[in-house]
Amino acid sequence: MNLANPFLPPDMLTLLRMGDATLSQVRDVLAEPQNHMSIPLSEVRLGPPISNPSKIICLGLNYQDHSPKSDPSTPVFPTIFAKYANCIVGPGDPIIIPSVSDQVDYEAELAVVIGKRGKDIPLDQAIHHIAGYTCFNDVSARDYQSRTSQWLQGKTFDTFGPMGPALVTSDEISDPGTLEISLALNGQTMQHSNTSHLIFSIPQIIVYLSQIMTLEVGDVLSTGTPGGVGALRNPPVFLKAGDQVEVRIEGVGILYNPVSVESLQKNR
């Protein structure tokens, strides 16, 4: 840290917890023509924007083209589940296929990061509780996910939550409900949609979740994935060692992760 700017926090979560005044100071520093704190992006290795959130809450079946064909009606309530911080990795980090699963799948998602603590948040205030947005890959072991009606065990293996490449602050995204979202596997587009096809909008998600629990600064809310996941293809497509996965979201960025297998990582 540059001693001339000792107020700068060591990580994104600390920055968000320090509030809007500190974020404004950071913007001022970055705007300096002779910014001696800047490091070229090519000289750093990016980690996940939020590495240890208190909560990672995900929505399932939240795109109109990803709901079960056997149930065409619009759901009344969101399907929610949790992931844990052990699953988080950053851009360029490998997704590691566990030795116990051979049905590891991809899911491109827009994630919302909470910037203001809240409980029972009104709909017209929900957007003001958002710090920003990032790309998320809700990697899923389908064989474990389908063992019971509860999805968690298939969702939170180590490395199953790639996130990044950055946190794009909410003022830079005028409408998170109109963003193109896609996923490419080895250069081939497997998912492509728009957040306008979300069944439950981002404000609705925030309102609903805040009725259940207090949303804390740094909490990650992943809004669901569009159609095109590997498990529902004919034949199914699951991740394998050597694959390259890219999540692209308009205005948010590109999240790239290679795929490895657990046996290659155990002795590292």
Cβ atoms of residues 159 and 93 within 8 Å:
yes
Task: Give the least confident one: 24-38, 77-91, 119-133, 185-199.
Answer: 24-38
Neighbours of 139 (CB within 10 A): 27
> Quick one: pLDDT band at residue 53, thresholds 50, 70, 90?
very high
Q: How far is CA 169 from CA 10, 106, 221, 225, in A?
A: 18, 25, 15, 21
Distance CA 183, CA 192 (A): 7
Residue 1 has pLDDT above 60, yes or no: no
Q: Is 253 left (phi over 0), alpha (psi -120 to 50) or beta?
A: left
DSSP assignments along the chain, one per residue = --TT-TTS-SSHHHHHHH-HHHHHHHHHHHT-TT-TT---GGG-----SSSS-S-EEEEES-BTTTS-TT--SPPSS-EEEEE-GGGEE-TTPPEEEPTT-S-EE--EEEEEEE-S-BSS--GGGGGGGEEEEEEEE--EEHHHHTTSS--HHHH-STT-EEEEEEEEEGGG-S-GGG-EEEEEETTEEEEEEEGGGBSS-HHHHHHHHHHHSPBPTT-EEE----S--GGGSSS-----TT-EEEEEETTTEEEEEEEEEGGGTTT-
Position 265 scores a pLDDT of 47
pLDDT one-digit tens code per residue, 185-202: 999 999 999 999 999 999
Distance CA 78, CA 60 (A): 7
pTM equals 0.92
pLDDT one-digit tens code per residue, 219-253: 999 999 999 999 999 999 999 999 999 999 999 99
Task: Give the least confident one: 27-36, 43-52, 67-76.
Answer: 67-76
